[in-house]
Amino acid sequence: QSVLTQPPSVSGAPGQRVTISCTGSSSNIGAGYDVHWYQQLPGTAPKVLIYGNSIRPSGVPDRFSGSKSGTSASLAISGLQAEDEADYYCQSYDSSLSGYVFGSGTKVTVL
C-alpha cells in the first residue's frame, strides 16, 4: 500500500504553474515529521529540491516552493520550463513503520 500518495502525473504548458500533492496520515506528515521533495531526471539520481517542508537549498530556483498542512504537503512549480520534465518524490518519516518513506512519485510533463 502507498504510505505517501502522489498523483501519477501532472502536466502544464511552459510558463504555467503546477502543483503536486503528497497525502499521508497521522503517523507521518500529520505527526509533524518533515517533508522533503526530490526531482529525478531520467537515468539520474534524485536531487533535493525542498527540505524541511518549505526550505530551498542554495542553487534551487525560487520557482520551486513547498508547503505542508495537516496530513498533506504540496510542491508547486511556477513558470514551468522544459527542463522541469522529471519525476518528483516526496519523503517523510513514518512512526508506525519506524522508518523513512517515499511518495509514489509524480511525472511532470511540459506540454
Partner 1 sequence: QVQLVQSGAEVKKPGASVKVSCKASGYTFTSYVIYWVRQAPGQRLEWMGWINAGNGNTEFSQKFQGRVTITRDTSASAAYMELSSLRSEDTAVYYCTRGSGATRHALDIWGQGTMVTVSS
- Positions in the binding site for partner 1 (CB under 8 A): 34, 36, 38, 45-48, 51-52, 55, 57, 89, 91, 93, 97-105
Nearer CB in complex with partner 1: 34/71? 34
Q: How far is the CB of 54 from partner 1 (least distance, A)?
A: 11
Nearer CB in complex with partner 1: 3/18? 3
**57 three-class SS:** coil
How many Å apart are CA 86 and CA 104, to the nearest integer? 14
Closest CA to 14 of 105, 77, 65: 77
Q: How far is the CB of 7 from partner 1 (least distance, A)?
A: 13
Q: How far is the CB of 6 from partner 1 (least distance, A)?
A: 9
How many Å apart are CA 10 and CA 13, to the nearest integer? 11
Residue pair 49/56 in contact (Cβ under 8 Å)? The answer is yes
Nearer CB in complex with partner 1: 17/100? 100
Nearer CB in complex with partner 1: 64/93? 93
Amino acid, single-letter form, for residue 48: V
DSSP state of 92: E
